[in-house]
């Protein structure tokens, strides 16, 4: 998981040079690609599948979001209270938060599969898998303009306390806390899956919300980071509706899931 965090940090640094995501794969008249080899990766050093959106088309998180809560504000006090509450979360919730830290495929989507009622990772639904993986990239990278600008200190570091993923703490200390990329990714998964399985929207959205809340429980994000992360994901999902490749792949994914059900 630490490698994924580092990959996203490097990817964000490459965005201004145009080395990140691009939707220039095929067109709406052809079947969207279903392999990482066909889609391409963010860069040679970052083997994440490219998203659907180019940097120019993705929402600008710095323009979209207000600054993080200032010291002495009521919002910062609420963030600190959420941190204190996280320290006393039950062991089973702490364990779930540690599992939710995994952004690797297929682990990241494993907690959504029981709700979906079908496997999303066994290779039988290639369009659904690639739809989710590319949308995840779009959501995660869209957070980085604000992340790098504000470079907010994470709660475990500011409070000199532990997190639920100690092996990742070194990487996280160098990665801005606001907004939460994990939360954006979890919320994006929930939104995309709701589009594919509208009859299960409430449970999917709840899982997506809890995925982001796990970052608070883990003490690696402030509560306000997660709110901002969901806002970035929602803006990115809205923008994806205008992308012809995303729309075409979503339709094929719906057919795969309908056939499996």
pLDDT beyond 80 at 22: no
Q: What confidence tens digit (pLDDT) does each residue in 204-246 have?
A: 999 999 999 999 999 999 999 999 999 999 999 999 999 999 9
Catalytic residue among 134, 182, 207, 230: 182
3-class secondary structure, 42: strand
Contact in structure between 181 and 229 (CB atoms under 8 Å)? yes
Indicate if 182 belongs to the active site: yes
Q: What is the pLDDT of residue 44?
A: 82
Number of domains in the chain: 1
Q: Which two tokens stand for residue 160?
A: 């000199």
Quick one: DSSP state of residue 167? G
Alpha carbon distance 49, 24 (integer Å) = 13
* Known catalytic membership, residue 215: yes
The catalytic residue among 100, 175, 225, 243 is 225
Residues in the chain: 261
Q: Write out pLDDT tens, residues 177-200.
A: 999 999 999 999 999 999 999 999
Give residue 48's region: left, alpha or beta (phi > 0; psi -120 to 50): beta
> Whole-number mean pLDDT of the chain?
91
User: The CATH number of the domain where 187 resides is what?
Assistant: 1.20.144.10
Percent of the chain residues past pLDDT 90, beyond the cut:
85
Q: How confident is the model at residue 15 (pLDDT cuts 50, 70, 90)?
A: very low
Is the pLDDT assigned to residue 250 strictly greater than 70? yes
Q: What is the pLDDT of residues 216-225, one digit of tens each?
A: 999 999 999 9
- Domain encompassing residue 90: 2-260
Active site residue 221: yes
Residue whose tokens read 């779009």: 138
215, 219, 230, 243: which one is catalytic? 215
φ, ψ (nearest 5 deg) of residue 88: -110, 15
Distances (CA, A) of 156 to 26, 61, 107, 161, 253: 44, 24, 24, 5, 39
**Model-wide pTM > 0.85:** yes
Q: Tell me what the mean pLDDT of segment 12-21 comes to.
A: 39
Distance (Å, rounded) from C-alpha 192 to C-alpha 145?
23
Residue 49, helix vs strand vs coil:
strand
Q: Considering only 15-24, 120-129, 132-141, which range has the smallest mean pLDDT?
A: 15-24
- CA–CA separation, 67 vs 52, rounded Å? 27
- Give the pairing of strands 41-43 and 46-49: antiparallel
> What value does the mean pLDDT take over residues 135-142?
96
pLDDT in tens, 49-94: 999 999 999 999 999 999 999 999 999 999 999 999 999 999 999 9
Check residue 43 and report its DSSP letter.
E
pLDDT for 240 equals 98
Identify the band that residue 23 occupies on the pLDDT scale cut at 50, 70 and 90: very low
Q: Which residue out of 207, 221, 230, 243 is catalytically annotated?
A: 221
């Amino acid at each position: 998981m630490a490698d994924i965090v580092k990959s996203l940090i490097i990817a964000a640094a490459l965005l201004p040079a145009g080395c990140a995501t691009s939707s220039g794969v095929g067109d709406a008249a052809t079947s969207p690609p279903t392999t990482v080899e066909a889609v391409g990766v963010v860069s040679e050093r970052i083997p994440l599948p490219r998203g659907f959106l180019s940097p120019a088309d993705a929402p600008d998180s710095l323009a979209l979001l207000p600054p993080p809560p200032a010291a002495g504000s009521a919002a910062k006090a609420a963030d600190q209270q959420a941190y204190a509450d996280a320290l006393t979360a039950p062991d089973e919730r702490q364990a779930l938060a540690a599992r939710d830290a995994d952004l690797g495929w297929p682990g990241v989507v494993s907690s959504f599969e029981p709700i979906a009622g079908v496997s999303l990772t066994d290779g039988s639904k290639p369009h659904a898998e690639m739809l989710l993986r590319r949308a995840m990239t779009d959501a995660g990278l869209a957070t980085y303009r604000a992340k790098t600008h504000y470079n907010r200190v994470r709660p475990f570091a500011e409070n000199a306390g532990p997190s639920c993923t100690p092996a990742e703490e070194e990487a996280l200390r160098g990665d801005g806390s606001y907004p939460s990329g994990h939360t954006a990714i979890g919320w994006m998964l929930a939104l995309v899956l709701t589009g594919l399985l509208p009859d299960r929207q409430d449970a999917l959205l709840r899982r997506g919300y809890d995925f982001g809340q796990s970052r608070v429980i883990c003490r690696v994000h402030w509560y306000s980071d997660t709110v901002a992360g969901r806002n970035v994901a929602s803006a990115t999902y809205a923008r994806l509706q205008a992308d012809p490749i995303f729309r075409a792949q979503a339709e094929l994914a719906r057919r795969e899931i309908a056939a499996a059900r």
